[in-house]
Amino acid sequence: MARYNPASAEPKWQQRWDDARCFEADKDPSKPKYYVLEMFPYPSGKIHIGHVRNYAMGDVIARFKRAQGFDVLHPMGWDAFGLPAENAARDNGGHPREWTYGNIEVMRGQLKRMGLAIDWTREFATCDPEYYVHQQKMFLEFWKKGFVERRESLVNWDPVEMTVLANEQVIDGKGWRSGAPVERKSMSTWFFKITERADDLLEALDDGRLAGWPAHVKEMQRNWIGRSEGLTMTFPLSGEDLPAEHQGLPIYTTRPDTLYGASFLGIAPDHPLAKHYAAKDHAVADFISECQALGTSEADIEKAEKKGFALPVMGRHPLTDEELPVYIANFILMQYGTGAIFACPAHDQRDLDFARKYGLAVKPVIKPKDGHETDLKIADQKSDPTDDGRTEAYVGPGTMINSGPFDGLPTDEALPAAIAKIAELGWGEGTTNYRLRDWGLTRQRYWGCPVPVILCETCGAVPVPEDQLPVRLPEVGPEEFKTPGNPLDRACADEWRICTCPKCGGPAQRDTDTMDTFVDSSWYFARFASQPDDKPVDTEQADAWLPVQQYIGGIEHAILHLLYARYFMRNMKDCGYTDVDEPFTNLFTQGMVTHATFQDEDGQWLFPEQVELAGGKATSNGAPVTIGAIEKMSKSKKNVVSPEKIADAYGADAARFFMLSDSPPERDVEWTESGVEGAWRFANRVYETVAKGEGLLAADTPIPDELPDALKAIRKEAHKTIDSVTGDIEGFRFNKAIARLYEFLGTLKGVKADGDAAPVAAEALRTLTQLTAPFMPHLAEECWELLGGEGLCCDAPWPVVEDDLLTDDVVTLPVQVNGKRRGEIQVAPDAPQDQVQDIALAQADVARFVEGKTVRKVIVVPGRIVNVVVS
């Protein structure tokens, strides 16, 4: 018998699908719409196996939903702007554009080889001017509406990439790509005012709008937004040379209840007041630079010593009139709150550490709840009679003491009372604070979407008139990419950059910044749904598809991309482009593909294909090889496999199938050669099993109502398999769906396909083929053709379960004696309890353990289990 040959079958069916335009969306308005999307790839050069897993998952959903009668949108495109293209031009010559489009060309071919059910008519790259022209238009619209603004601010400057980074792109004080320590620099750049939408972005996480998102992703976004309720209040300051603007110090606190425990005020090293004194006093300036050198990049910041510098000013407590010293303190962040705090050492650990170091007062104002009594000893201390000398701050709830009018109140009541009191006295008000910062959206790079703005000496920033859009990137020579920095800022771009102001006609320059690539990816999914020439989307058309019902991608985008896209969608809604605010109804974050690592005797990493595995030992050309940890595939450790080589050896179907078969999709999966071989074996067994029923579907014989038990059992298995595979696909349990397919294939092992058995075999083999189709679409078409099915398998409607075939006539019940399994009985599923009980007690294995004992109770759980309790 001929074996299944993916090398010829796969291209053949891909061509047929193409010719029939099977996967183009929007063909049948009578069908319900379903939009499934995987995060689009960056055109780095070639597809890696992680892409295969990602797109295989989306493809299962796309094909499954299509078979279920949905009009499915499953598009593909390219997240094509970004720094690697410039780096490639720097290292290898050429232009970022050539590199990018060349890579797209290659990767498109590789993706097509996977046989994905994609509507390629909607493909675009974000570096296409036809795409970014609309992004520029929206930018200007957002600007007009006040969603975006240009402002002077301290930015995160990556000295290696020579560009600004968003806060989200700074990891441990280092650039997320370069790894270089980030510097702080003052610049005029553009910001999306995402903090204005912080509340709505936060609320949607909890109000059911994102019910289809994993809890941990929502939790990460919640933490990232970091909303806190508190009090902003101003402490009066007095001291030498204090300019008017510093005669009050605004601070932010989430613990206004501890206000009576204040013993000093603290400001961040880069606070304006600190700078004021730094200008006059070298000691202050030295201390500030010392703090900045320490930076936020210290890994063990937890242990970093609290340090401070006392300023020649005094604060006054508005409630108690006490004098409070003012310190520059290294643990205060300018970016959070007002960059200044009041410190209550008794009830904040950092404040306490600081107070102990500098001998400042520690005054408890909260009496801990019962059980914490020992935490508060009123001891004799010289500095403060209420200080008991402890080094651990009490941060829990309790009852207010030493707090004037608040004495006796529980802390949760003292908190709003303190805010009300301060507000009443006019010293401050209750405020909400966010950890989230506005999104600095521009980069000082060439290969990005140009900011469509002209900077005029007299008019300031002026929008490029709409009829002049898109502002295209100017052509610059390949040598420009060998120089660090932004070519748009250099003489090579003068012809483009130097222009006249559209407003006053005077001399002006273009903004040489380009947009962060996260802007490009914040709305691409909408453009997939609708791509008119004259506007970003046609609202009606886009909203017919949006929101994306199922979005699939890596957990690494849990914060950045997914938060930005949610934000951007809201801006688009306010501009009337859509009625949708949440772009992704259901989100699935898939795990990574990992692989064992191999090292030779010299510690050099080896590619998997350089290693022979036999009997648990690994060798390379006879030399011993150490098998290392199973890790995320990375070029540096060479633990990578090429999807192309796998497709050559086993076919795309086997690769896709194995990716989904071994682990739950949200977890990491280890790529193994033996695993993909298992998938290959499965494909062949399916083909050989189906081959027994050649032409059966063409015969189209009805299944008789009365069947022999053996044939009825096959029908039951088929329908149970339809039921479980359908549920497992819907629930993203692809590994379980595949286990069911293996099982079903096992039951069909010796199946007869002729005579009386033919109609049942036809149904069973058709079922096997169709249930396998979302995972192994090429094989399924080959089987479908073999069976004589009508048209293409991918067009056939999903099999429907006959419910009466899901129930059994006889069920096997385990029987326990005192909770231990002793035997089993066979009864009708609806047998009366006392009958089941009698049968159970009569069963020989059970009787043996009951003999000589008293039966106290018999528990019968219908259809499940029997438990006999004896003593």
Show contacts with RNA in window 717-736 (CB under 7 A). 733, 735-736
Judged by CB under 7 A, which of 663, 713, 838, 847 binds RNA?
663
How far is it, in rounded angstroms, from Cα 395 to Cα 414?
14
Structure tokens at 478: 């390949």
What is the closest distance, in whole angstroms, from the C-beta atom of residue 256 to RNA in the complex? 8
Judged by CB under 7 A, which of 7, 154, 283, 301 binds RNA?
301
Site for RNA in 277-296 (CB under 7 A): 294, 296
What is the closest distance, in whole angstroms, from the C-beta atom of residue 177 to RNA in the complex? 15
By the 8 A CB rule, do 515 and 443 touch?
A: yes
The 3-class SS string of 570-589 reads HHHHHCCCCCCCCCEEEEEE
Site size for RNA (CB under 7 A): 81
User: Residue 614 class from Cβ within 10 Å (0-12 exposed, 13-18 middle, 19+ buried)?
Assistant: exposed
Residue 600's contacts (CB-CB under 8 Å, 6 or more residues apart) are 606, 620, 623, 624, 625, 626
CB atoms within 10 A of CB 273: 22
Residue 659's contacts (CB-CB under 8 Å, 6 or more residues apart) are 49, 52, 53, 56, 593, 669
How far is it, in rounded angstroms, from Cα 65 to Cα 53?
19
How far is it, in rounded angstroms, from Cα 328 to Cα 269?
6
By the 8 A CB rule, do 853 and 841 touch?
A: no
Backbone φ/ψ region at 593: left (φ over 0), alpha (ψ -120 to 50), beta: beta
Site for RNA in 745-764 (CB under 7 A): 746, 749
Comparing CB distances to RNA, the nearer of 171 and 425 is: 171
What is the closest distance, in whole angstroms, from the C-beta atom of residue 89 to RNA in the complex? 30
CA 738 centroid distance within chain: 26
Comparing CB distances to RNA, the nearer of 153 and 663 is: 663
Site for RNA in 337-376 (CB under 7 A): 337, 339-341, 348, 350
Q: In 3D, which of 631, 632, 605 has the Cα closest to residue 618?
A: 605
Helix, strand, coil proportions of the chain in percent (round to 5)?
40, 20, 40
Site for RNA in 17-76 (CB under 7 A): none
Asked whether position 335 contacts RNA by CB under 7 A, the answer is yes
Comparing CB distances to RNA, the nearer of 69 and 173 is: 173
By the 8 A CB rule, do 868 and 858 touch?
A: yes
Pattern 427-446, RNA, x by CB under 7 A: ------x-x-----------
Between the CA of residue 833 and those of 269, 341, 403, 837, 864, what are the distances in Å? 78, 71, 69, 6, 12
Site for RNA in 157-216 (CB under 7 A): 171, 215-216
Comparing CB distances to RNA, the nearer of 559 and 801 is: 559
Site for RNA in 312-331 (CB under 7 A): 330-331
CA 443 centroid distance within chain: 23
What is the closest distance, in whole angstroms, from the C-beta atom of residue 202 to RNA in the complex? 14
Site for RNA in 519-558 (CB under 7 A): 555
User: Residue 277 class from Cβ within 10 Å (0-12 exposed, 13-18 middle, 19+ buried)?
Assistant: buried
What is the closest distance, in whole angstroms, from the C-beta atom of residue 588 to RNA in the complex? 14
Binding piece for RNA, criterion CB under 7 A, among 91-99, 236-244, 444-452, 855-863: 855-863
Asked whether position 302 contacts RNA by CB under 7 A, the answer is yes
What is the closest distance, in whole angstroms, from the C-beta atom of residue 125 to RNA in the complex? 28
Asked whether position 306 contacts RNA by CB under 7 A, the answer is yes
What is the closest distance, in whole angstroms, from the C-beta atom of residue 317 to RNA in the complex? 15
Residue 500's contacts (CB-CB under 8 Å, 6 or more residues apart) are 506, 507, 508
How far is it, in rounded angstroms, from Cα 447 to Cα 84?
9
Structure tokens at 814: 């385990």
By the 8 A CB rule, do 795 and 785 touch?
A: no
What is the closest distance, in whole angstroms, from the C-beta atom of residue 581 to RNA in the complex? 24
Comparing CB distances to RNA, the nearer of 139 and 657 is: 657
What is the closest distance, in whole angstroms, from the C-beta atom of residue 428 to RNA in the complex? 13
What is the closest distance, in whole angstroms, from the C-beta atom of residue 627 to RNA in the complex? 12
What is the closest distance, in whole angstroms, from the C-beta atom of residue 225 to RNA in the complex? 10
Site for RNA in 785-814 (CB under 7 A): 812, 814
3-class state of residue 326 by DSSP:
strand
DSSP 633-668: --TTTT----HHHHHHHH-HHHHHHHHHHSS-TTS-
DSSP 713-775: HHHHHHHHHHHHHHHHHHTT-HHHHHHHHHHHHHHTTT---SGGGHHHHHHHHHHHHHHHTTT
Pattern 459-498, RNA, x by CB under 7 A: ----------------------------------------
Strands 71-73 and 33-38 turn out to be parallel
Angle, alpha carbons 136-139-143 (nearest 5°): 145
Judged by CB under 7 A, which of 743, 788, 795, 841 binds RNA?
743
Asked whether position 677 contacts RNA by CB under 7 A, the answer is yes
Asked whether position 617 contacts RNA by CB under 7 A, the answer is no
Binding piece for RNA, criterion CB under 7 A, among 449-457, 541-549, 671-679, 754-762: 671-679
Judged by CB under 7 A, which of 44, 228, 431, 619 binds RNA?
228
What is the closest distance, in whole angstroms, from the C-beta atom of residue 800 to RNA in the complex? 20
What is the closest distance, in whole angstroms, from the C-beta atom of residue 749 to RNA in the complex? 5
Asked whether position 219 contacts RNA by CB under 7 A, the answer is yes
Binding piece for RNA, criterion CB under 7 A, among 217-225, 372-380, 492-500, 778-786: 217-225
What is the closest distance, in whole angstroms, from the C-beta atom of residue 594 to RNA in the complex? 10
Pattern 230-259, RNA, x by CB under 7 A: x---------------------xxxx----
Q: In 3D, which of 362, 371, 369, 368 has the Cα closest to residue 389?
A: 362
Site for RNA in 391-430 (CB under 7 A): none
Site for RNA in 125-154 (CB under 7 A): none
What is the closest distance, in whole angstroms, from the C-beta atom of residue 384 to RNA in the complex? 20
Asked whether position 332 contacts RNA by CB under 7 A, the answer is yes
Q: In 3D, which of 731, 728, 734, 724 has the Cα closest to residue 665?
A: 734
By the 8 A CB rule, do 715 and 805 touch?
A: yes
Asked whether position 865 contacts RNA by CB under 7 A, the answer is yes
Comparing CB distances to RNA, the nearer of 767 and 816 is: 816
Between the CA of residue 274 and those of 279, 666, 826, what are the distances in Å? 9, 49, 84
Comparing CB distances to RNA, the nearer of 106 and 855 is: 855
What is the closest distance, in whole angstroms, from the C-beta atom of residue 34 to RNA in the complex? 25
Asked whether position 268 contacts RNA by CB under 7 A, the answer is yes
Comparing CB distances to RNA, the nearer of 115 and 339 is: 339
Binding piece for RNA, criterion CB under 7 A, among 203-211, 464-472, 710-718, 859-867: 859-867
What is the closest distance, in whole angstroms, from the C-beta atom of residue 322 to RNA in the complex? 18
Measured between its terminal Cα atoms, the distance across the chain in Å is 63
Q: In 3D, which of 437, 526, 517, 705 has the Cα closest to residue 73?
A: 526
Pattern 678-697, RNA, x by CB under 7 A: x--x--xx------------
Site for RNA in 816-835 (CB under 7 A): 816, 818-821, 824
Comparing CB distances to RNA, the nearer of 401 and 737 is: 737
Identify the DSSP state of 482: G
Comparing CB distances to RNA, the nearer of 135 and 724 is: 724
Strands 811-817 and 865-870 turn out to be parallel
What is the closest distance, in whole angstroms, from the C-beta atom of residue 166 to RNA in the complex? 12
How far is it, in rounded angstroms, from Cα 315 to Cα 336?
21
